[in-house]
Amino acid sequence: MKTRAAVAFEAGKPLEIVEVDLEGPRAGEVLVEIKATGLCHTDEFTLSGADPEGVFPAILGHEGAGVVLEVGPGVTSVKPGDHVIPLYTPECRECEYCLNPKTNLCQAIRATQGQGLMPDGTSRFSYKGREIRHYMGCSTFANHTVLPEIALARIRPDAPFDKVCYIGCGVTTGIGAVINTAKVEIGARAIVFGLGGIGLNVIQGLRLAGADQIVGVDLNPAKRAMAERFGMTDFVNPAEVEGDLVAHLVELTGGGADYTFDATGNVQVMRTALESAHKGWGESIIIGVAPAGAEISTRPFQLVTGRVWRGTAFGGARGRTDVPRIVDWYMNGKIEIDPMITHTMPLEDINKGFELMRRGESIRSVVVF
Ligand code: NAD
Ligand code: AHE
Ligand code: ZN
C-alpha cells in the first residue's frame, strides 16, 4: 500500500512529506493506522545526527496511537479494530530480561530495532524503490506503519488518540522514572532538571508519589508556570544563581535532595544532578539522552559517600502491561495530559513542530493525521 509519511532523508535536514510504499505485515507483525503522534526530543536528537544509532533515510516518531488494520500470521493478542499504542520498549514476556523483575528492557528484537529493521532483518518501507528504515521499532511519523505484535499495547477504545499518544513516551517515561525506577516515597525532596515534555511528567509523578518538595531547574524561565501547575514547589534558573549551583540546590533542599532527575540530556547537568543528591542516600536518575561521544564524570567520592547514579528507559515501564493502566489513569482523571499538549498540527506542518521544540516554545506538539 501507499501511505503518507514525514521522511528523514538526511541528518540535519527538514523532514519531507512524501507517499511511501509500505508492505503488509509478515508473521508476528501488525499493520497499524497511526491517528496521532507526539514529537519527542529524542526524535530531534536522532534527526540532528547526534544519535550513534541514527540511520537514514528513516521514518522517525515513537510516540503514537492508532488502530490495528491487519494482522500477520500467528498474531493472537491484537485484532483489526483494536486501539493501540506502539512500544519502543516491547514486552515479549519470554526473554531473559522480561523474566527478570529488575528490568523492563525486553531484548527480544533490540538488535534489529537498533538498525531500523523489522525482526526478520528487512524493512517494510520504501520510496521509489529505495529502502527506508524504521525507527525505534515504531515510525509513527507515517500514517500507516508495521510493528511486531510484542511492540503494541492494546488500550481502551474511548481514549482520545491525540492525547494518549503522549503515553507512548513522555508521560510514561516521566511518571515511570519516579514510580518504577526511583520508587519515590511520600515526603521526599526532589530536584528535576529540564522542565520540558519529560521533566513535567517527572513533576506530575512526584506529586502523585507524595513528594514534599519538588524543585525544578531550567534555563528557560517560560517553563516555570506550567511546572508550577503540575506541582513544582521551587524554581531555579541556573543563569540567575550567583556562585555554585550545586551548593545552592543543596542548601535549598536542606542538605541535598532524596531524588534528582536529569531530563535535559546534558552531561554537565547530569553531574550537577548527581552532586545535588543528598549525601548518604540521594539517588540521581538519568533520563536524558546524550549525544554520541558524550560522557558523564564525577569524583568517585560522590558515590563512596552514598549517592547513587541510575538511569531509566521508558520509565522502567513494561509497555503491554503498564501502558493500558496509564491510559486508565488519564481517563479517570488521576493524571493530566491535555495542558502539556501545547500545539497540534497536520503532518504537513511537522517541521514547524520541531522548530517550536528547538526554540523552547512548546511542551508537546502532536501531529494529527
Ligand atoms: P524538551 O526539549 O521538551 O525539554 C528539555 C528541557 O531542558 C527544556 O525545557 C530546556 O530548556 C531544558 N534544558 C536544556 N538545557 C538545560 C540546562 N543546561 N539546564 C537546565 N535546563 C536545560 O525535551 P524532552 O522531550 O522533555 O526530552 C528531555 C530529554 O529526555 C531528552 O534528552 C530526550 O532525548 C530524553 N528522553 C529520554 C527517555 C528515556 O526513556 N530515557 C524518553 C524520552 C526522552
Ligand atoms: N540510540 C541512542 C540511545 C537512545 C536512547 O537511550 N533511547 C531510550 C529511549 S528515548 C525515548 O525518547 C531507550 O529506550 N534506551 C534503551 C535502548 O535500548 O535503546 C544511543 O545512544 O545509541
Ligand atoms: Zn521519546
Which bound ligand lies closest to the C-alpha atom of 287?
A: 1
Q: What is the pLDDT of residue 12?
A: 97
CATH 3.90.180.10 placement within the chain: 2-168+337-368
Distance 163 CA to ligand 3 centre (A): 15
25-57: buried (b, 16+ CB within 10 Å) or exposed (e) per residue?
A: bbebbbbbbbbbbbbbbbbebbbeebbeebbbb
Instruction: Give me the residue label for grid cell 500467528.
Output: 74
pLDDT (average), residues 131-156 = 98
- Amino acid identity at 63: E
- Cα 282 to Cα 259: distance, rounded to the nearest angstrom: 6
106 is catalytic: yes
- Taking only the tens place, the pLDDT of each residue in 285-328 is 999 999 999 999 999 999 999 999 999 999 999 999 999 999 99
Q: What is the pLDDT of residue 194?
A: 98
> Hey, what CATH topology would domain 174-314 get?
Rossmann fold (3.40.50)
Residues of the chain with CATH 3.40.50.720: 174-314
pLDDT value for 328: 98
pLDDT band of 330, cuts 50, 70, 90: very high
Mean predicted confidence (pLDDT) in 173-192:
98
CB of 42 shorter than 6 A to ligand 2: yes
Write down the mean pLDDT value for the chain: 98
Query: Please, which pLDDT band fits residue 177 given cuts at 50, 70 and 90?
Result: very high
Predicted TM-score (pTM) of this structure: 0.98
The grid coordinates of residue 210 equal 507524595
Give the orientation angle of helix 41-48 with respect to helix 350-358, to 10 degrees. Answer: 90
Burial class (CB in 10 A: 0-12, 13-18, 19+), 164: buried
174 CB less than 6 Å from ligand 1?
A: no
Tell me the best of 37, 45, 53, 198 to mutate to test the pocket of ligand 1, counting ligand atoms within 8 Å of each CB and taking the most: 198
Shortest-distance atom of ligand 2 to CA 63: 12
Nearest-angstrom CA–CA distance, 160 and 165: 8
Residue 289: the pLDDT is 98
Looking from the CA of residue 265, the nearest atom of ligand 1 is 32
| pLDDT score of 350 | 98
d(CA 66, CA 25): 16
220: pLDDT confidence band, cut at 50, 70 and 90?
Answer: very high
Residue 273 — very low, low, confident or very high, per pLDDT cuts 50/70/90? very high
Q: Which atom of ligand 2 is nearest to the CA of 41?
A: 12
DSSP letters spanning 210-235? T-SEEEEE-S-GGGHHHHHHTT--EE
Residue whose C-alpha is closest to residue 269's, from 168, 195, 360? 195
DSSP letters of 247-298? HHHHHHTTSSBSEEEE-S--HHHHHHHHHTBPTTT-EEEE-S-PPTT-----
pLDDT value of position 336:
98
Q: Is the ipTM here above 0.95?
A: yes
Query: What's the pLDDT score for residue 192?
Result: 99
144 catalytic, yes or no? no
Q: Which fold has domain 2-168+337-368?
A: Quinone Oxidoreductase; Chain A, domain 1 (3.90.180)
Percent of the residues in the chain that have a pLDDT greater than 90, as a whole number: 100
